[in-house]
Amino acid sequence: MEASGLLFNIDADFPLPIHIQLKEQIKWLIGKGLLNPGDTLPSTNQLAEQLSINRNTIQSVYTQLKEDGLLLMQKGRGTQVAGEEEITRFKANHPHFSFVEQMIDEAHESNFVIDDLLLSGFAYVQLFGQRQKRKQRYLFIECKMSSCIFYLDEIRRLTSAEIQTIDVTSLPDEDLKQAIHNADVIVTRSDLAEKLRVFVDEAKKTLISVGSTGDVSLLLNMIRQP
């Protein structure tokens, strides 16, 4: 599908640099399904003329999004949105678009100036973002043996992390995928690790497999996970 009719809104007076405005708008269109896998974006020349911005800026944005796995750039075929698998993964890992849309709608209803709200948000994150870091989320899968319980109990004792335990034998794959997506670190028995790896890799999470005996160094590695 040709997406050359898309309208971007670039404001040279807005505090965000032009290349970030364009990059985030393309990501938004992909995240909301207005740009779909295989859609062709305007050429750099077309978009430069449409937006009255430098062609090199557009080329740089396209290249960055290609490196992020969202676009494909091929000679003779132009610039296209990446395939179904990559875009599905992007949407799963970036579920915030609808939340932002709702937040903006509520801000309008409250008569807030949106630019002021967003800039205040940036300032808040810069000032306090690191202090408000959310708790680490651990997902223990099929961890009923004593060594797993050792890690679980120690993480509870040493951290304020959120811990969830699940039994895969009674869990549909979709629910398992969602649980993995919501966690930061997945802990499971070594004999289950390979079976779960495809789901964990797809969600780009950390997988730690444990043996039959407790290992303090492995425990420390779990706790140090970012």
Q: Are 64 and 71 in contact (CB under 8 A)?
A: no
Residue 111 belongs to a domain: no
| Mean pLDDT to the nearest integer, 26-53 | 92
Write the pLDDT tens digit of every residue in 181-218.
888 888 888 888 888 888 888 888 888 888 766 565 66
Q: Bin 157: left if φ > 0, else alpha if -120 < ψ < 50, else beta.
A: alpha
Residue 218 belongs to a domain: yes
State the pTM of this model: 0.57
Residue 185 belongs to a domain: yes
How many residues make up the chain in this entry? 226
CATH of the domain at 32: 1.10.10.10
How many angstroms separate the Cα of 133 from the Cα of each of 115, 128, 137, 145, 185? 25, 9, 12, 32, 16
pLDDT value at position 223?
66
**Do 77 and 150 belong to one domain?**
no
pLDDT at 117 over 90: no
**Do 25 and 85 belong to one domain?**
yes
Query: Of 78, 93, 108, which closes a domain?
Result: 93
Q: Record the tokens describing residue 115, joined without a space.
A: 């630019």
Tell me the three state secondary structure of residue 2. strand
User: What pLDDT band is residue 82 in, cutting at 50, 70 and 90?
Assistant: very high
**Structurally, how many domains does the chain consist of?**
2
**Do 150 and 88 belong to one domain?**
no
Q: Are 143 and 165 in contact (CB under 8 A)?
A: yes
Q: Which residues contact 136 (CB under 8 A, 6 or more apart)?
A: 159, 161, 162, 184, 185, 225
Q: Is the dihedral of CA 65, 67, 68, 71 positive or negative?
A: positive
Lowest mean pLDDT among 22-26, 143-147, 162-166: 143-147
Domain range for 69: 18-93
Q: Record the tokens describing residue 109, joined without a space.
A: 């209803």
Strand 185-189 and strand 137-141: pairing? parallel
Beta bridge partners of 188: 141, 209
**Do 86 and 142 belong to one domain?**
no
pLDDT value at position 169?
73
